[in-house]
Amino acid sequence: MPGAIHAEGLVKTFGDVRALDGVDLDVAEGTVLGLLGPNGAGKTTAVRVLTTLLRPDAGRAVVAGLDVVRQPDEVRRSIGLSGQFAAVDEYLTGRENLRMVGRLYQLRGRQAKARAGELLERFHLADAADRPARTYSGGMRRRLDLAAALVVSPPVMFMDEPTTGLDPRNRQQMWEVIEELVAAGTTLLLTTQYLEEADRLAHDICVIDHGRVIARGSSDELKARTGGERVEVVVHDRAMTGTAAEVMTGFMAGGASGGGATVEQHTRRITVPVSGGAKLLAEVIRELDARGIEIDDIGLRRPTLDDVFLWLTGHAAQDAGAAEDAGAARDAGPAAEERDGR
Ligand SMILES: Nc1ncnc2c1ncn2[C@@H]1O[C@H](COP(=O)(O)OP(=O)(O)OP(=O)(O)O)[C@@H](O)[C@H]1O
Ligand SMILES: [Mg+2]
């Protein structure tokens, strides 16, 4: 049975750019799909198509049982959307913004007022509730925008980078609000560049790059696919990162179980997937020492979603332009076509 959000073969082009290049998605009712991808991957375009704001060039999508192209008005009544850029009326106060949304959704005056009050409390905006939104900080606008999306607890919600620009405390609170929503039965599609966020909130993760789904699965499944542990070394001398990467590549877990060495020049950090644990660590230290490479730090750790992302795309999630940083990872990783294990 198709999920609460179901899309097949979505294509959307802007001139020469194929923002969506045949995207399939399925989000089971009451679950969270994390749509993960770097800048320009197509996340916002996907959200805009699924929320009826953009018409796809090809493919079809059904949200809450309704076709987004043929039944846009019905779809809009069944969903909540919090866009990437806060859509608040600058001249209205926080409270007025929320009451207006309530009225738009046909809540009665009293209900709209009560709901606005509740949400202002919950999003820590009560003190600023009666100030015009144009006096709010970026994080406050973001919270007001999310509050607006929650005025009528719709069955299906879309959140485009809900925590971008929030400080750690507010991000934490937002995660709690999202978890409550989902516990109450809301189906959610959430886009994010924060792997940590997808890891915490999403039942399933879909990684997109250049308008295509390049991997999907639960966070554990994706981590398992990139192989076992990582050895991470910080070399003392930046000029030695290349040699150190070469040495460490020699210790890599065999075959297709992982990518290559990833090199982060600015932090002088080199990471390779390995199997062999602590014993191997001693060997790596000896070998680096034999080559005259001084190390500042070395450790063994489990793969993170960041590793998954690097392995899949050859570049970091927040660093789409810096593919060359991934250097060896590119060469050693599997070909793009092989990565989407479908
Ligand atoms: N209205 C538009 N006109 C022209 N090009 C567009 C338009 N909207 C998106 N694009 C292009 O489509 C591609 C995907 O953009 P999209 O906004 O979906 O990416 P994103 O994954 O949301 O990125 P970000 O993380 O930066 O928000 C980009 O190359 C972008 O420049
Ligand atoms: Mg976007």
Residue 84 CA to ligand 2 centre (angstroms) = 6
For the entire predicted model, the pTM comes to 0.78
Ligand 1 atom having least distance to the Cα of 211: 14
**CATH architecture of the region 5-217:** 3-Layer(aba) Sandwich (3.40)
Ligand nearest to the CA of 43: 1
Check residue 310 and give its pLDDT.
77
Residue 193 CA to ligand 2 centre (angstroms) = 9
Check residue 306 and give its pLDDT.
79
Q: Which of 12, 14, 18 to mutate to test the pocket of ligand 1 (most atoms within 8 A of CB)?
A: 14
Ligand nearest to the CA of 12: 1
Check residue 60 and give its pLDDT.
97
Q: Which of 43, 163, 213 to mutate to test the pocket of ligand 1 (most atoms within 8 A of CB)?
A: 43
Q: Under DSSP, is residue 296 helix (H, G, I), strand (E, B) or coil? A: strand
Check residue 259 and give its pLDDT.
54
Q: Under DSSP, is residue 51 helix (H, G, I), strand (E, B) or coil? A: coil
Ligand 1 pocket member 54 (CB < 6 A): no
Check residue 195 and give its pLDDT.
84
Ligand nearest to the CA of 41: 1
Q: Which residues of 301-325 are buried (b: 16+ CB within 10 A; e: fewer)?
A: eebbbbbbbbbbbbbbbebbeeeeb
Task: Give CA–CA dist 239/173, Å, rounded.
Answer: 42
Give every residue of the chain whose pLDDT is below 70, as ranges. 1, 86, 227, 254-259, 315-342
pLDDT in tens, 228-247: 788 999 999 999 999 999 99
Taking the domain 226-333, which CATH number applies?
Answer: 3.30.70.100
**DSSP string of 207-221, one letter each residue:** EEETTEEEEEE-HHH
Check residue 27 and give its pLDDT.
97
The residue whose C-alpha atom lies closest to atom 19 belonging to ligand 1 is 40
Q: Which residues pair with 257 in a beta bridge?
A: none
Residue type (1 letter), 1: M
Residue 18 CA to ligand 1 centre (angstroms) = 9
Ligand 1 atom having least distance to the Cα of 43: 21
Ligand 1 pocket member 41 (CB < 6 A): yes
Ligand 1 atom having least distance to the Cα of 46: 18
Task: Give CA–CA dist 65/77, Å, rounded.
Answer: 12
All structural domains of the chain with their residue ranges = 5-217, 226-333
Check residue 142 and give its pLDDT.
86
Residue 43 CA to ligand 1 centre (angstroms) = 8
Instruction: Answer yes or no: are the C-beta atoms of 265 and 328 closer than 8 Å.
Output: no
